[in-house]
Structure 1
Amino acid sequence: MVAKLKKAHMGLVPKLILAIILGILVGQLTFIPEVIFQIFITASSLFSSLLSFIIPLMIIGYVIKGISDLTQGAGKLLGINLLLAYSSTLIGGFIAYFVSSNLFPLFIDASITENVQEEIAALEPLFTIPLEPLLDVTSAIVFAFLFGVFISWLRSEGRGEIMYGFFTEFSEIITKILNTLIIPLLPFYIFGNFINLSYTGTVFSILSVFWRVFIVVLGMQLLLVSLMFVIAGLYARKSPLTMLKNQIPGYLTALGTQSSAATIPVNLECAKKNGVSEEIRDFVIPLSATIHLLGSIVTVTSCVTAVLLMFDMPHGFGMMAGFIATLGIAMVAAPGAPGGAIMSALPFMPIVGIDPTGTLGNLLITLYITQDSFGTAANVSGDNALAVIIDKFYAKQIVKANANVKKETV
């Protein structure tokens, strides 16, 4: 009997880390002719053009579908779930901004900023292809929000299923493009980017900052999730420590899968252990896996703030507030795959002055995906805290409704 060896598949994060390491090492090999580096940089540039072409289509596919879906549901409970999830996401984003803008300047000093700015002159690709997007980002956003809202209105009138079906399948096509083309090519894209960063010397200044950024991000995520369970425990009169202990399997599953959607079955069991009723956990957990992005927004906001500080770009509260509020909606469209949140957030980077297809956009993709597991784990853990709160609210509404029925009977 001949034993068959299964081919081992390396996950996305190890591939990205390997691409970063190889890019740094290759970029330091001074005996390699500059034109060789430019070949890899050209490949990255072509990928960047493709990504730029896809971004407006991502907005149209995901945002229209997301808005159309979120306006359908169980009335008051849907509204409460949306309000709590969006509020939690916003609060997480604003806390991340205030912590980042006050703490990061302690280790992002003038010398690092000067080094990055002096060394940023990069090698140019050998050639480019003029691949223009069908729509610019602003037009795509306006189109998506208008169509999403009015398709929702049509559906509330018992119509609009043809349009809804069209954009549902359109979003599925975009997801397929991301999963079969964009995501698999990211390691090669990042390899070329880091060759360029390493060749110019910029990479060392950047990495000296971002390992500290990630420590701060992880600390914020754990504290915010713990706070959510404390609030849920106080409201529902349950032990926060017990609920946190029950959440450990869901947290670890999300670390391994990097997908909120893939963690839903385990998270439902965690909710069951926390005493959440079946009808509430079956409603809240799958919905919150899409709309509640506490961990993701903490990471994106922190990384963006760090990049803005490093390159001495504007990062005032007014601008960042608009960016965070937009992200809370935009990332709802994130596909349930590694890096989905940052891919959905990319089209809105121009709000803070970052070109999503430029060097800084590339850097943010790399930095986000390498720690995406922790953001996803924070997202799904927060989902169960929301489920406890909504379950208690639902129970109170039932008691109130029963009391009203008794009064009317009497």
Structure 2
Amino acid sequence: MSEGTRSFLRNYSSILWLMGGIAAGTIAGLWLGPDTGLLKPIGDIFINLLFMAVIPLVFFAISSAVAAVEGSSRLGRLFAVMLLVFTGTALVAAVFTLLGVYVFPVHQVVGKAGDIPVHGEVTDLGTQLTQLFTVSEFYELLSRKSMLPLIIFSLLTGFAARQAGDKGVAFRQFLLSGNEVMKQLLTYIMKLAPVGLGAYFAYQVGTVGPQLFGTYARSLGLYYVLGLLYYLIFFTLYAFIARGKEGVRLYWKNNLVPSLTAVGTCSSVASIPANLEAAARMKIPAAVRNIVVPLGATLHKEGSSISSMIKIAVVFAMFNKPLSGVDTLALALGISVVVSMVEGGIPNGGYIGELLVMSVYQFPPEALPAVMIIGTLVDPMATLLNVTGDTASAMLVGRFMRLKPEEVEAAA
């Protein structure tokens, strides 16, 4: 076996195993039909393990990342500009995808309108926002239905730990250690994904039927088309905004290696060295690229923002719920942006975003396997957008910071 083949199998082993589990589940579902209900408990166990791990995982990932940030006032301004660029580009990606969903809707319905539990409507906007972003008791943060309040609490805890100075050293170390432990726990759980999702997929095929494939095919096709358009059009636009025609030339001249690395490794973190080298060739100031590119690998995920919006549309279609209304659409855009910034520091972090979607919109657990499968199949394109979007964003940060390469290279 050649080195290239071994490298491919190593980088894509988790996807190949998962696709193998899904294929086996499909065959079992077609063969067993309604009797696939016997396999459903296997899928339920896997989903419940994810639910058990998600709360501490999100808390430690976010709070430890914030607590570890240090720097001067100039660095603080750079961070502010960087976060604005990250948020803005993720929002643009989400809006672009939402428009694409409306132009090419996911019409296939896989379920019944009565599948979504009915909850009492809250007409008071203030009460609705309060319940969305906060909880009245600490123990309520331990529920997966309180993901947004948990994220806010984690951010505040991280800021408090950072501001505590020397007295907070032990607590910051606890957060960092906890983050490593929870990442390892998720790694163990995800080893069960081929079996767990395969069993759930068998149950869906056996009970819903072949129409299930229409939703997956349509959503995957839509994602790859929108992703390719975003890759070619919007990154060109960002480079032009940053440095005009020269920026476009430098960006595409040096973007091939990071693009191939992203697709080859399917990892944003593994692509950091190639991205840093490309950023230098793009003449992005060292003081910018050395901060924006590494942090972008965890905090900036335009591909994830696009996939999050696709998943929301798919789940709404699956349960015959219209994706319309100002509040629903605004929340969908907000979720896509939050997911794009939260999931990067977590292995298989897209699943955390899917849990957030279910929590906010109050979908039943049966919705999770479908969006997890979609998230896995779009991973190569998502990684490509996530990685190459970091250098485009770094160019924008340098532009808004009004820094020139020769002014900061020596100080970097």
TM-score bin, normalised by smaller chain: 0.7 to 0.9
Deviation by residue 1:60-87 (Cα, 9 ceiling, x = unmatched): 2223224434686711111111110011
Structure 1 residue 156, shift from structure 2 partner = 3.2
Which residue of the partner structure matches residue 407 of structure 1? none
Which residue of the partner structure matches residue 355 of structure 2? 346
1:119–1:200 contact (8 Å) kept in structure 2: no
* CA RMSD, Structure 1 to Structure 2 (Å): 3.1
Which residue of the partner structure matches residue 90 of structure 1? 91
Which residue of the partner structure matches residue 18 of structure 1? 20
Structure 1 residue 383, shift from structure 2 partner = 0.6
Read off the aligned partner of 1:221 and give its amino acid letter. Answer: G
Distance 1:152 1:95, change over 3 A: same
Read off the aligned partner of 1:117 and give its amino acid letter. Answer: K
Deviation by residue 1:142-192 (Cα, 9 ceiling, x = unmatched): 35523532441452352423222212211111110111x222111111110
2:53 corresponds to 1:49: no
Which residue of the partner structure matches residue 328 of structure 1? 337
1:54–1:133 contact (8 Å) kept in structure 2: no
Which residue of the partner structure matches residue 405 of structure 1? none
Distance 1:143 1:215, change over 3 A: closer
SS state at 1:262 partner: coil
1:276–1:388 contact (8 Å) kept in structure 2: yes
What is the percentage of aligned positions where both structures have the same residue? 20
Q: Distance in 1 between matches of 2:51 and 2:241?
A: 47
2:392 corresponds to 1:376: no
SS state at 2:271 partner: helix
Deviation by residue 1:346-375 (Cα, 9 ceiling, x = unmatched): 2342212323xx221111011111221111
**Deviates most, 223-232 or 256-265:** 223-232
Q: Distance in 2 between matches of 1:314 and 1:56?
A: 29
2:85–2:396 contact (8 Å) kept in structure 1: no
2:269 corresponds to 1:261: yes
Which residue of the partner structure matches residue 239 of structure 2? 232
Read off the aligned partner of 1:22 and give its amino acid letter. Answer: A
Distance 1:133 1:373, change over 3 A: farther
1:86–1:291 contact (8 Å) kept in structure 2: no
2:153 corresponds to 1:146: yes
Read off the aligned partner of 1:84 and give its amino acid letter. Answer: V
Correspondence for 2:312 among 304, 310, 313: 304
Q: Based on CA coordinates, which of the two structures has the bigger radius of gyration?
A: 1
Q: What's the TM-score once normalised by structure 2's chain length? A: 0.80
1:289–1:380 contact (8 Å) kept in structure 2: yes
Which residue of the partner structure matches residue 29 of structure 2? 27
1:239-258 equivalences in 2 (<5 Å) = 239-258=247-266
Runs of 4+ off more than 6 Å: 397-401
2:189 corresponds to 1:194: no
Structure 1 residue 219, shift from structure 2 partner = 2.3
1:44–1:190 contact (8 Å) kept in structure 2: yes
Q: Gapped runs of 5+ residues in structure 1?
A: 1-5, 121-131, 402-410
**Deviates most, 306-315 or 265-274:** 306-315
Which residue of the partner structure matches residue 60 of structure 1? 59
Structure 1 residue 311, shift from structure 2 partner = 2.1
2:220–2:374 contact (8 Å) kept in structure 1: no
Structure 1 residue 93, shift from structure 2 partner = 1.3
Distance 1:70 1:294, change over 3 A: farther
Which residue of the partner structure matches residue 168 of structure 2? 160
1:189-228 equivalences in 2 (<5 Å) = 189-202=196-209, 204-226=210-232, 227-228=234-235
Structure 1 residue 274, shift from structure 2 partner = 1.2
Read off the aligned partner of 2:104 and give its amino acid letter. Answer: L
Read off the aligned partner of 2:26 and give its amino acid letter. Answer: I
Distance 1:75 1:363, change over 3 A: same
Structure 1 residue 278, shift from structure 2 partner = 2.6
Distance 1:293 1:201, change over 3 A: same
Deviation by residue 1:73-132 (Cα, 9 ceiling, x = unmatched): 711111111110011112211221232134215xx1xxx42x643999xxxxxxxxxxx9
1:297–1:327 contact (8 Å) kept in structure 2: yes
2:112 corresponds to 1:117: yes
Q: Distance in 2 between matches of 1:255 and 1:296?
A: 15
Deviation by residue 1:287-345 (Cα, 9 ceiling, x = unmatched): 11111111111011112212202321142242232243244234433255763223344
2:251–2:282 contact (8 Å) kept in structure 1: yes
Q: What's the TM-score once normalised by structure 1's chain length? A: 0.81
Q: Distance in 1 between matches of 2:354 and 2:237?
A: 30
Q: Gapped runs of 5+ residues in structure 2?
A: 1-5, 116-138
SS state at 1:29 partner: helix
2:266–2:379 contact (8 Å) kept in structure 1: yes
Deviation by residue 1:267-293 (Cα, 9 ceiling, x = unmatched): 111112212233322111001111111
Q: Distance in 1 between matches of 2:90 and 2:70?
A: 18
Q: Distance in 2 between matches of 1:144 and 1:104?
A: 31
**Deviates most, 250-259 or 158-167:** 158-167
Read off the aligned partner of 1:334 and give its amino acid letter. Answer: E
